[in-house]
């Protein structure tokens, strides 16, 4: 199991290019580029694919065609909620959150 989320990063005073990646318990996951923990390394390695999947979810427009271009769309509150969560995660991954 990966370290508790949310994760955040903190810059070091040693260099503007060095940072710590810290979990919810203030345990260091990465220090000066060294990954701490195999499960964390796997999760970080999967991050680009996870981001790609989130972007597809965020762009998804609820509805169906079932092979019929004239079929009526339907509203899906769960889909919209997933889209919002995906957009928030994408913004966080890109450093755009407030």
Write out pLDDT tens, residues 71-92: 444 556 667 788 888 888 888 8
> Do 52 and 12 reside in the same domain of the chain?
no
Q: How far is CA 25 from the centre of its chain?
A: 19
> Do 79 and 53 reside in the same domain of the chain?
yes
Residue 53 domain boundaries? 42-98
Burial 20-32 (b: 16+ CB within 10 A, else e): ebbbeeeeebbee
> Do 48 and 32 reside in the same domain of the chain?
no
Tell me which residues of the chain have a pLDDT lower than 70. 1, 61-78, 97-98
Whether this prediction's pTM lies above 0.75 is answered by no
Residue 98: per-residue pLDDT: 47
Domains in the chain, number: 2
> Do 49 and 14 reside in the same domain of the chain?
no
> Do 46 and 81 reside in the same domain of the chain?
yes
> Do 48 and 96 reside in the same domain of the chain?
yes
> Do 70 and 96 reside in the same domain of the chain?
yes
């Amino acid at each position: 199991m990966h370290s508790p989320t949310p994760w955040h990063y903190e810059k070091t005073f040693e260099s503007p290019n060095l940072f710590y990646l810290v979990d919810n318990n203030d345990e260091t996951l990465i220090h000066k580029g060294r990954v701490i923990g195999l499960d964390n390394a796997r999760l970080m390695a999967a991050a680009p694919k996870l981001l790609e999947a989130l972007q597809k979810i965020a762009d998804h427009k609820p509805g169906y065609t079932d092979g019929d271009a004239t079929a009526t769309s339907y509203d899906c509150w769960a889909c919209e909620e997933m889209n919002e969560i995906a957009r928030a995660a994408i913004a966080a991954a890109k450093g755009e959150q407030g």
